Every structure is written in structure tokens, then in C-alpha cells.
């Protein structure tokens, strides 16, 4: 039996780990703050409805190490803000809706 057959599973695992790592790295590098804020603001428009506008939203850096941004959207005449918590890959982790 050829010796390379014994190493094939390990080579396959290393190749799969490299593909996954490069894919996640590319996603993290190509996610811009502007694109994430615009996507979250569009989500806010669906959640708030009515007189909500994209310009109601602002973003700030998150305090938690697992999160990247906190996008806060205050509707016109509203006192409580919709808060959306975004991770480093641009995915919505949690939201605080009044």
C-alpha cells in the first residue's frame, strides 16, 4: 500500500482548514463600516416603518470584544432608540427594540 494514502486524510483536513480560514478572513477584510451601517439602517426601516428614515441611524464602536459596532436608530419624535449589535463579520448579533 502506498505511503501517501496514510497522509491523505491529514492533507485533506489541512486543506479544508485553509479554505475556511481564508474565506472568513476575506469576509472580515471586505466588510466596511459603511456597508454594515447601511444594511442595518435598511433593517431599521423594516422594523420601525412609518416615518423612519435612514438618516435616523448613527453608529459607535462596541464595548464588547465580540462585537464591532452598535448602530442606534432613533425614530422622529421617539425617545427610545432601536439598537443593533453587529459582530466583526457584519452579522447582526442582537437587537434592542423599544
In a shared domain, residues 41 and 84: yes
Q: What angle do CA 11, 12, 14 make, to 5 degrees?
A: 65
Q: What's the mean pLDDT in 61-77?
A: 89
Q: How many domains does the chain have?
A: 2
C-alpha–C-alpha distance, residues 51 and 64, integer Å? 31
Question: Which of these ranges, 26-30, 61-65, 79-83, 87-91, has the smallest mean pLDDT?
Answer: 26-30
Look up the domain containing 71 and give its range.
32-98
- 38 and 17 co-located in one domain: no
For residues 38 and 71, state if they share a domain. Answer: yes
The answer, yes or no, to whether residue 1 has pLDDT greater than 80, is no
Q: Measured at the alpha carbon of residue 49, what is the angle toward residues 91 and 43, in degrees to the nearest 5?
A: 10
User: In terms of domains, do 22 and 68 share one?
Assistant: no
Q: Are residues 12 and 37 in the same domain?
A: no
- 19 with 51, same domain: the answer is no
The answer on pLDDT for 98 being more than 70 is no
- pLDDT per residue as tens digits for the range 30-58: 778 898 999 999 999 998 878 888 999 99
Amino acid at each position: 500500500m502506498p505511503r501517501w494514502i496514510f497522509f491523505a486524510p491529514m492533507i485533506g483536513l489541512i486543506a479544508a482548514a485553509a479554505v475556511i480560514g481564508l474565506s472568513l478572513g476575506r469576509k472580515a477584510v471586505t466588510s466596511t463600516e459603511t456597508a454594515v451601517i447601511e444594511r442595518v439602517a435598511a433593517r431599521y426601516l423594516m422594523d420601525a416603518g412609518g416615518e423612519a428614515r435612514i438618516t435616523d441611524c448613527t453608529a459607535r464602536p462596541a464595548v464588547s470584544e465580540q462585537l464591532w459596532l452598535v448602530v442606534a436608530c432613533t425614530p422622529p419624535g421617539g425617545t427610545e432608540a432601536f439598537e443593533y449589535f453587529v459582530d466583526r463579520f457584519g452579522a447582526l448579533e442582537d437587537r434592542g427594540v423599544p
